[in-house]
Amino acid sequence: MTAARVPVRDDLVGVVAYGAPQLDVAVRLNVNETPWPPPPKYTELLAARIAELDLNRYPDRRATALRTALGERAGLPPTRVWTANGSNEVLVQLFQAYGGPGRRVLLFTPGYSAHPLLARVATTDSVTAPLDADLRLSPATAAAAVAKREPEIVCVANPNNPTGLPVGLDTVRALHDAGDGLVVIDEAYVEFGATSAVALLDELPRLVVTRTFSKAWRMAGLRLGYLYGPEWVVDDLRKVRLPYHLDALTQTAGLVACELADEVTAHIPALVAERERLAGLLAAVPGVEVFDSAANFLLFRTGVADLFDRLLARGVLVRDFSRVARLEGCLRVTVGTPEEDDVFLAALRESLA
């Protein structure tokens, strides 16, 4: 009798597939989406452009028009821009190109939980170092960790997820100058208030900055991410990408978004104002401690162990970090519409009463 199944790769035994719960509840504030969809002007123009596509043809393998448009936004040529299916794919491609067996990526904890998973997919070992006591990353801590571990890649989110705390440019410099590896700054949330490391690209030759359309561009349904970096990185990423990895619909959607960037991102000031309103009201709830945030979410701590379930029972889904080391008792809430946030606050007050 032949075997009924094939054993999964050794390093995947026991791995839990990544994914926050997708539950059908009234208020979903758990994956840091923008609560408002892109404006009708965008969806109308996109529909017209899609109607013009030759879908019988493969897409432009180099996504030249989209890379040019994204480059112009940062004053960079298309040869220094790379695009893929979400910034997660950009990251996994970086790990495939510069990681792999026998190589390591350095991550700081607590951080974005997908980073070690993406490294594993790329058969790259993760090594971790702790953030500072206040959960920030100082230049000294950053440099010491790089000098000690000598990683081929170091990857840090700015602002960090789940804390929301920004990373200073002096820390980015320290990460770079303490070693010889690739420095990846994951700027998925940078548009909500952190200072971008793009300003350092010409100064630091091994720096890359990854970005996404999922958050501030309010298009998580699209799966489009990109990076700004040196030309040699873009050349190397071509060696690991799948043939025609970025489809014509996604390229078109990104291009139209660049054309209408002002309209598509017009909500950002309102969202930041709503974050500050929510942070103030949250901090005023007795027993709640709120972290500063430069992102579109807030991390907060209470002493109540089952708060996640109490909120869910009231139709509000947030992200549970209460069992993550150094985040004991913490939940993370995405900034929603004022109405959604008021429902969340009412559910929280009730749950803590």
Ligand X SMILES: Cc1ncc(COP(=O)(O)O)c(C=O)c1O
Residues that bind ligand X (CB under 6 A): 32, 86-88, 112, 157, 161, 186, 188, 212, 214, 220, 225
Residue whose CB is nearest to ligand X in the complex, by number: 86
Q: How far is the CB of 123 from ligand X (least distance, A)?
A: 20
**6: left (phi > 0), else alpha (psi -120 to 50), else beta?**
beta
Q: How far is the CB of 202 from ligand X (least distance, A)?
A: 24
Q: How far is the CB of 111 from ligand X (least distance, A)?
A: 8
Nearer to ligand X, 174 or 295 (CB): 295
Q: How far is the CB of 77 from ligand X (least distance, A)?
A: 23
Q: How far is the CB of 300 from ligand X (least distance, A)?
A: 17
Nearer to ligand X, 78 or 162 (CB): 162
Nearer to ligand X, 143 or 157 (CB): 157
Nearer to ligand X, 190 or 351 (CB): 190
Q: How far is the CB of 206 from ligand X (least distance, A)?
A: 20
d(Cα 315, Cα 323) in Å, to the nearest integer?
A: 22
Nearer to ligand X, 90 or 351 (CB): 90
Nearer to ligand X, 81 or 351 (CB): 81
Measure CA of the first residue to CA of the last residue in the chain; give whole Å: 62
Nearer to ligand X, 87 or 171 (CB): 87
Q: How far is the CB of 72 from ligand X (least distance, A)?
A: 21
